[in-house]
A and B are shown apart, each in its own frame.
Chain A
Amino acid sequence: MSFIAKPKITHPGLPRNEIGLTVRDYEGSMSTLCAGCGHDSVSSAIMQAYFELSIEPHRVAKVSGIGCSSKTPTYFLGGAHGFNSVHGRMPSIATGANAANRELQYIGVSGDGDSLSIGLGQFAHAIRRNVNMIYMLENNGVYGLTKGQFSASADKGSKAKKGAANAYSPIDPVLLAISLGCTFVARSFSGDKDQLVPLIKSAISHSGFALLDVISPCVTFNDHEGSTKSYAHTREHMRETVFADYIGAHEEILTRVEPGEARQVTMHDGSRVSFRHVDESYDPTDRIAAISYIEKHRAEGAVVTGLLYVEESSEDMHSTLGSAPQAMSDIPYQKLNPGADALKKIQSRWK
């Protein structure tokens, strides 16, 4: 942890977005994570994505649980709303907050421990409800805060820092999410912002639950030889299946995407995601094919990355529930809380 705060001074030529902000206006406090932590790089990609989409920080709500990853919302979008909940309970908080104010954009940040052990049930049900949020799973295969024990996402046979091999099979959040009916599933790597930033932008524009499983190496406890979640191992075994380019609703398609090669999916807000197929045979809208493709490559030791599954016509929690079209905070109090007499009237119907 540095003793000085990041100086406010910046490059006078730094680009500004449509609302006149620079990427530095999307910063939070100085990170207290270990130097070189993948999570800091993910935070930086998140700032870049919100900056590029010209989203005002105060229109965003950040939620998290417990763990190294769950500390990170403090380190980005200082102007956003935030709630740091108990271990594994972030999805409930996000669901409740989203139910109350559907007009904010929600980003939940969690880790492999928070999501796949103590919070697995919460994680599954947020997917099932299709809460409109980004679920950023910063996945490093270890419990960093408690000194590097294997987590539920650690690969079988993967070595701990002192050499012990992991005896258990991992839970793959991507496969789990697809099988639970998640409508936007991507995997990326903290050390590849060229891939990660467009994926976050696409996830922001997706209406429904968007899971981003990001391999984010623990530089202190899981970046050694024998680890399957180190910087070097991930770079070596990463297999980019689909490259997703985010295209804003009003942007022209970049010329580098050749027509015929690229396939487009239109998102809820009119923006588009253009896929550049690295592997021609892959179809990110075919759920069954996606599962078998990911399983097959996992068996070969490859880490499949990119936007792996997306459902264009996704119906989020509010459409399913038919809830009010506006945020509850915008509904007059009298209407939201009609009082004891109204409650009695309703209760009398079931007497």
Chain B
Amino acid sequence: MKSTNPLDPDHYHRVVDCQWGCPAHTDVPKYIRQIAQGDFTAAYLENRKSNVFPGVLGRVCDRPCEPACRRGRLDESPVAICRLKRVAADLSDDIRDKLPPKGPANGKRIACVGAGCASLTVANDLLPLGYDITIFEKHDKPGGLMRTNIPSFRLPEEVLDNEIDLIVERGVDLRLNSPIDSMQTLLDEGYDAVFVGTGAPRGKDLNLPGRHDTDRIHIGIDWLESVAFDHIDTIGENVLIIGVGNTAMDCCRSSLRLGGKNVSVIARKPRGWFKASDWELEDAEEENVDILINHSPKAFIVEDGVLKGMTFDKLHYDISDTGELSRPEVIEEIFLPCDDVILAIGQENSFPWIERDLGMSFDEWDTPTVDKVTHAAEIPGVFFGGDSAFGPKNIIWAVEHGHQAAISIHKHCSGEDVSDRPPTAMNLLSTKMGIHEWSYSNDFDDAERRQMQHVELTQRFKDIRIEVELGFDAEQTAREVERCLNCDVQTVFAESLCIECDACMDVCPVYCLTITEDAEEDVLRQQLRAPADNKEQVLYVSGALPQTGKVMVKDENLCIHCGLCAERCPTGAWDMRKSQLLVPYANDEAAEARKKTA
């Protein structure tokens, strides 16, 4: 097959599974090493560069990095990346003086609608460039869904406040209690660009008989918002949560803290088809929440204006050999008594404040037409990000949208083509320190994933503000950091030096190296020393080797980056080099400008 071009930044980036899996491309191995060295402040700043809210995300991120983690393919549990992020955030020094200050005013004014993670990221990236940024927020506190939808027992308010302050206090004009009710009016104010980061603020309703005969049926995200702002502080003893996504998990666990005794989560489908993350399900079940599967809601039973319960169709599914669900079959009707019902069956976009004659088109879910790369709407100078751009996703996606939108806004305001994106680059730097010494911890640690300690069940329901997760202690942190395989320390091969002594192949503990005759990829994958069946993972294929004309093939799938191939190589054909992805940000330019004036 075609030999690999290691100069393409994507090749080595793909090897760093966590970073490749992260929408914001956080350099995970780098910050884990910084934590291992006790440099929590550097680890925090490394995180902040890409994900802006390490303290928040270290608690509540959707963690796309963890299922991607190579360690999970080797011994079944990935590195606790998210937990380590929290360690960095909890132990970091004050970093206020390490952030770039607001740049000299460049005379451009930007309006951001909604003070959620996307808008705050835009502000964070554009401030150092000297933009004048105004954020309009309808609530009396900033944070958007991070504040309204994530209960404080998972995300303490002070953590959120601190990370928002780090942005706002550098000179953002944050206008609270300032809902925008007309896009036309906003556009008329003559901003140089408008960024919409209003989220997907409308919870889906369930229009079944009895829905409007009582006030004890709540929309999940609205209910969580009322709890967050202390508008609601009690709930009935018997609560049914409809839906089994992450919002449902937050609703059931919040209910337990507001007086709920028997809290059940109702799922339409069997386990395995739940939308909630595994760890959120585990935490809810630890708190004795019942999860009832295969129940389809039928009616709300209200007698004399009092909610008595709900009726459901109990369903039966057959699961095919390929793991697909059959059409459900109704077995029986079931009645479940309750005092309150919380609907957590999804949320959608809603833009009642955008006039429909401005030249923007919306699809059937009320999602606007937005360019996937530039985040530009159909009106020049208007950009969307976060859930408001492409429908509900999560915080880390919203942050990445913010970064991309910031680049677009800066280009737009500089009169450049927004579709001309700045390139991503890659640096490779040898980690060799001595004959068999490397500047990273190359020995494999077979420790199992450390388990998060929780506040005792008897204590945690006393106050909704008691954070359940205690964070990793020093011992847990010290072991967990060693579980990281340092996938960013790449095995870099120089075929012209290879004498085909086989030493690297022989010493590799996971059999990822093979010297073989070249062939097409499918054939090549079969003639390697260990099966290379994971096609998601790339092969490295060298050019022809000097002595026999064969090729060196590396299956990147399970490489543990121990460096033994490089240690056993007599000619230095293998080297362990740290790859650093150079992700472009809008404020790179400010960094360059600062260097020039320094």
Contact = CB atoms under 8 A, between A and B. Distances in A.
Contacts of A15: 530
A318 B564 CA distance: 44
Contacts of A219: 499, 501, 570
Contact of B564 (A6, A14, A223): A6
A193 B501 CA distance: 10
B443 A7 contact: yes
Interface stretch (B122-130, B141-149, B507-515): B507-515
A231 B497 CA distance: 13
Contact of A231 (B73, B499, B512, B568): B499
B547 interface: yes
A11 interface: yes
Contacts of A8: 444, 446, 509
Contact of B436 (A2, A6, A41, A190): A2
A36 B570 contact: yes
A37 interface: yes
A217 B500 CA distance: 11
B511 A6 contact: no
A167 interface: no
A35 B74 contact: no
A40 B509 contact: no
A13 to B, nearest CB: 5
Contacts of B215: none
A35 B501 CA distance: 9
B444 A7 contact: yes
Contact of B499 (A1, A9, A223): A223
Contacts of B511: 10-11, 14
A4 interface: yes
B506 interface: yes
B510 A35 contact: no
B14 to A, nearest CB: 19
A191 B500 contact: yes
A4, A15, A34, A43 — which one has the most chain B CB atoms within 10 A of its CB? A4
Interface string B542-574: 000001100000000010101010011111000
Contacts of A12: 73-74, 558
Contacts of B530: 11, 13-15
For the side of the interface on B, what is the size category? Answer: 35 or more
* A interface, size bucket: 35 or more
Interface string B508-524: 01111000000000000
A335 B568 CA distance: 52
B443 to A, nearest CB: 4
A217 B571 CA distance: 14
A4 B562 contact: yes
Nearest to B512: A11
B72 to A, nearest CB: 12
B588 interface: no
A235 B548 contact: yes
Contact of B560 (A1, A9, A36): A9
A38 interface: yes
B448 interface: no
Interface in A26-46: 31, 34-38, 40-41, 43-44
B507 A9 contact: no
Given A36-B569, A193-B502, A2 B564 contact: yes
B436 A1 contact: yes
A141 to B, nearest CB: 16
Contacts of A40: 503, 506-507, 568
B580 interface: no
B547 A36 contact: no
A3 interface: yes
A16 B325 CA distance: 35
Contacts of B506: 40-41, 43-44
A232 B501 CA distance: 10
A138 to B, nearest CB: 13
Contacts of A231: 499-501, 547
A42 to B, nearest CB: 10
B502 A9 contact: no
Contacts of B562: 4, 7
A2 B547 contact: no
A4 B503 contact: no
B501 A217 contact: yes
A43 B505 CA distance: 12
A41 B503 CA distance: 6
Interface string B67-80: 00000011100000
Interface in B474-504: 499-503
B442 interface: yes
A12 B569 CA distance: 25
Nearest to B530: A11
B531 interface: yes
Contacts of A235: 500, 547-548
Nearest to B442: A4
Given A4-B442, A36-B569, A235-B547, A10 B510 contact: yes
A292 B487 CA distance: 56
B233 interface: no
A1 B509 CA distance: 16
Nearest to A30: B507
B93 interface: no
Contacts of A10: 509-511
A35 B567 contact: yes
Contact of A4 (B75, B502, B564): B564
Top 7 closest pairs, chain A to chain B, by CB:
A36-B570, A7-B444, A44-B506, A11-B530, A4-B443, A36-B501, A41-B502
Interface of B: 73-75, 436-437, 442-444, 446, 499-503, 505-507, 509-512, 530-531, 533, 547-548, 558, 560, 562, 564, 567-571
7 contacts: A2-B567, A7-B562, A9-B444, A9-B509, A10-B511, A11-B531, A38-B501
Given A44-B505, A219-B570, 13 more contacts: A3-B437, A7-B444, A10-B509, A11-B512, A12-B558, A13-B530, A35-B567, A35-B568, A35-B569, A36-B501, A37-B501, A38-B501, A44-B502
